Amino acid sequence: MIEFQVKGRGFKPVNERWWPDTQKQWSTKLLQANKKFWPQERDPSTGRPWKALSPKYKEFKDRSRPGQPILRYSGRMQDTAKIAPKGKGLEVLTTRYGKYQQFGTSRLVARPWMGVPDTSMRDLTTIAWKNIFSTSSK
């Protein structure tokens, strides 16, 4: 929860309905930011490279999909990915196996492909403040 304490004169009105617009704009901005990390095969939240494929799977992948990036087997996961407002937060929507790539399994190494990149924080803050102090009524 965010609270404001106002002192002195010259108070600029606050848009109490700032969050829905902010959610929508953050969704778009975060998806754009995450997509930049996919070809680099890096975790968007930390910037660290994904763990290497197992030798056996790498051999299979090199034979069946030569030159394709790690998470680009069919392309469905990345091509259908969306970040959407949900309740008080945001939700990642994609194929049913996207969560296994993100978090890993007992047999699959996690390759986080969604997150909140540090490089986006300035943009997210700017979007929030613009909406909080927007004087337009909706």
Q: How many CA atoms lie within 13 A of 99 on its CB side?
A: 4
Q: Give the range of the structural domain holding residue 31, as residue numbers without chain letter.
A: 18-132
Question: What domain count does the chain have?
Answer: 1
d(CA 36, CA 54): 24
pLDDT per residue as tens digits for the range 44-88: 999 999 998 889 888 988 888 888 776 766 778 888 899 999 998
| Radius of gyration over every alpha carbon of the chain, rounded to an integer in angstroms | 20
Asked if residue 52 is part of any domain, the answer here is yes
Asked if residue 49 is part of any domain, the answer here is yes
| Residue positions counted in the chain | 138
Report, in this order, helix, strand and coil percent for the chain, each rounded to 5.
Answer: 40, 10, 50
Mean per-residue pLDDT over the chain, rounded: 85
The answer, yes or no, to whether residue 10 has pLDDT greater than 80, is no
What element of type H or E holds 92? strand 89-93
Asked if residue 137 is part of any domain, the answer here is no
Question: What pLDDT, on the 0 to 100 scale, is given for residue 8?
Answer: 58
Asked if residue 89 is part of any domain, the answer here is yes
Token pair, residue 105, equals: 């399994």
Asked if residue 61 is part of any domain, the answer here is yes
Asked if residue 36 is part of any domain, the answer here is yes
List beta partners, residue 89.
Answer: 86
The answer, yes or no, to whether residue 123 has pLDDT greater than 90, is yes
Asked if residue 10 is part of any domain, the answer here is no
Band of residue 26 on the pLDDT scale cut at 50, 70, 90: very high
Asked if residue 13 is part of any domain, the answer here is no
| 3 state SS of 71 | coil
